[in-house]
Structure 1
């Protein structure tokens, strides 16, 4: 076995070991009620094929008034988040997750977030996630009126003046860093956010995975002489040789200097 074959063998074994030890991504889905998750069953099946765990937060009682003495507790990956007066407050929940997913947001909660107000479960969770600089993914095709309110008022849409106000709030939320995507594509954004490599035309490329391989470099680096990686990224032997041969400078995000 020559040196090249040995390096490929070591690289393959390293990747297998890293994949086994890679911590799983944990995402919190915030649904309006206990039936709102049903249209997303197929998306959740796709997420299970990746190292992504998820919890549900079901807000069945939100429209009857959020009481300050009520709290929320996460019951574990893949489980439902249950109401419990001794559990964590909503503002604490984002600390335990890598991303927050809210398939449907309404005019009230959008207004609260835009004005820096809390007082509801969704607004507190979004506020905490933004402060912690964690991704917040929201359904972009939400009508802006709660599911329970649609049922009570027998209407599916806001009147035009309120609809325009809602759209302006969505733009403000985007400016705050909230990501809006169609509800049917939200799972793809979650996967892309954590597992797909993204190119950066200014610096030549940014690698956001766990293990940097020569295959990724060959397909994404191009002619750039710089490459950004996250702190703790592992470079395989062949990747190191490739970077050295091409004279590429590696910049570790978050490193001193």
Structure 2
């Protein structure tokens, strides 16, 4: 067997194997390291559905973004903690399909609704929305941080702040952030993830956005047959987001004046 053909075959098989084992992955943001305990059954349901998740704990003052503080992660189903040596919140949403915030307070709701940064939650939500990742927020919270409830021994906001909190949540909804009651969180999250999987499957099987019969790797050897299928100079070739194109193949497409677009993002 020609060595080049053998390498291409191995690469295609590796990519195919990688795509088959890909699982949805979510980031859960909790106010502190004990807030997740009431969600243990929820996480069991996620594991049964093949959904991976990581947890970010914002204990005490780390819930406020101080500039030098960053976040880090290790392992599978990992626990993420504040650390000055780790990647910043801008990097976190990239590796997740969605962000779940079981409880939001009026301060973070205001920052998110107005597009302001300044806290870990507001920054992660901002960057997640920029990356078109879904964000689900619990609709049961009182609007007061857990630490403040414990310190002040109070559970409800004053009437004026209650109205403000409700209006802020409406503004967040207009931005595309979804709210659900905690009792419905499992069904909401699972349904959302399955919907994304179905959309991705439909997109990858749609000839208008994916080149058929070339798998997930397009090499220079595939270019002539693609050109013969009707792609002329100045036209666009629409590919699945998971399709990879070898450097030589990209050069050939460029020489022929054909632009490459991935999914619906128009990336070349």
Q: What is the TM-score with the length of structure 1 in the denominator?
A: 0.70
Q: What's the CA shift string for 1:153-190, capped at 9, x where partnerless?
A: 11001011100000000000000000000112212111
Change (3 A) 1:149 1:161: same
Whole-Å separation in 2 of the counterparts to 1:116 and 1:162 = 19
Q: Which stretch shows the higher mean deviation, 64-73 or 139-148? A: 64-73
Whole-Å separation in 2 of the counterparts to 1:68 and 1:118 = 11
Q: Does 1:94 align with 2:93?
A: yes
Q: Partner of 2:155: helix, strand, or coil?
A: coil
1:226 maps to which residue? none
Q: Partner of 1:192: helix, strand, or coil?
A: helix
Whole-Å separation in 2 of the counterparts to 1:197 and 1:135 = 10
Q: Does 1:208 align with 2:199?
A: yes
Matches of residues 32-47 of structure 1 in structure 2 within 5 Å?
32-47=31-46
Whole-Å separation in 2 of the counterparts to 1:112 and 1:159 = 19
Q: Partner of 2:162: helix, strand, or coil?
A: helix
Whole-Å separation in 2 of the counterparts to 1:150 and 1:29 = 21
Whole-Å separation in 2 of the counterparts to 1:117 and 1:19 = 37
Task: State the Cα RMSD in Å.
Answer: 2.6
Change (3 A) 1:29 1:66: same
1:242 maps to which residue? none
Change (3 A) 1:72 1:179: same
How far the C-alpha of 1:75 sits from its partner, in A, is 1.5
How far the C-alpha of 1:209 sits from its partner, in A, is 5.9
Matches of residues 1-257 of structure 1 in structure 2 within 5 Å?
21-62=20-61, 65-196=64-195, 207-208=198-199, 210=201, 229-230=202-203, 232-233=204-205, 254=264
Q: Partner of 1:82: helix, strand, or coil?
A: strand
Whole-Å separation in 2 of the counterparts to 1:49 and 1:209 = 21
Change (3 A) 1:95 1:48: same
Q: Tell me, which stretches of 5 or more residues in structure 1 are unaligned?
A: 1-16, 199-206, 211-228, 236-251
Q: What's the CA shift string for 1:63-97, capped at 9, x where partnerless?
A: 68432111101223311012221111112211111
- Verify the 8 A CA contact 2:60 2:147 in the aligned structure 1: no
- Aligned residue pairs, count: 197
Change (3 A) 1:73 1:168: same
Q: Tell me, which stretches of 5 or more residues in structure 2 are unaligned?
A: 1-15, 208-239, 241-262
- Verify the 8 A CA contact 1:66 1:121 in the aligned structure 2: yes
How far the C-alpha of 1:19 sits from its partner, in A, is 11
Q: Partner of 1:77: helix, strand, or coil?
A: coil
